[in-house]
Amino acid sequence: MNKLDMANTDERIFPKILRKQAEQAGDSPFLVTESQSISFAEAERITNCLAGGLQALGLGRGDCIALYMGNRPEIVLLALAANKLGAVWTPISTDYKGQWLLDSLQRSRCKVLVSDWEFFPRLDPILDQLNVGQIVLHTDSMPDGAANLHSYAELAAHQPLQLDYADQDYGDICAILWTSGTTGKSKGVLQSYNNWIRAIAEGCSVQNDSREGDIILCVLPLFHTAAWLTCVYRALIEGIPCVIEEKFSVSHFWDRVRLFGATQTFALGAMGVFLLNAPEKPDDANSTLRIA
Chain segment 23-41, per-residue pLDDT in tens? 999 899 999 999 999 999 9
Average confidence (pLDDT) over 266-271: 89
CA atoms of 250 and 210, how far apart (whole Å): 25
pLDDT at residue 249 is higher than 90: yes
Residue 275's nearest CA partner among 261, 262, 257, 260 is: 257
Distances from the Cα of 246 to the Cαs of 38, 120, 129, 218, 288, in angstroms?
16, 18, 30, 9, 20
pLDDT at residue 284 is higher than 80: no
Q: Please report the beta strands in the chain, taking only residues with DSSP state E, as ranges in sequence order.
A: 29-32, 37-39, 64-68, 88-91, 112-116, 134-138, 149-151, 173-178, 188-192, 216-218, 242-244, 264-265
Q: Are strands 64-68 and 37-39 parallel, antiparallel or unpaired?
A: unpaired
Beta-carbon contacts of residue 56 (< 8 Å; ≥ 6 apart): 158
3-state secondary structure at position 32? strand
Helix%, strand%, coil% for the chain, nearest 5? 40, 15, 40
Write out pLDDT tens, residues 207-217: 888 999 999 99
pLDDT at residue 135 is higher than 90: no
For the chain, the first-to-last Cα distance in angstroms comes to 19
CA atoms of 243 and 240, how far apart (whole Å): 10
pLDDT at residue 146 is higher than 70: no
Average confidence (pLDDT) over 89-106: 93
Supply the pLDDT for residue 16. Answer: 97
Banded pLDDT at 94 (limits 50, 70, 90): very high
- 8 Å CB contact between 133 and 57: yes
CA atoms of 61 and 11, how far apart (whole Å): 19
CA atoms of 147 and 131, how far apart (whole Å): 15
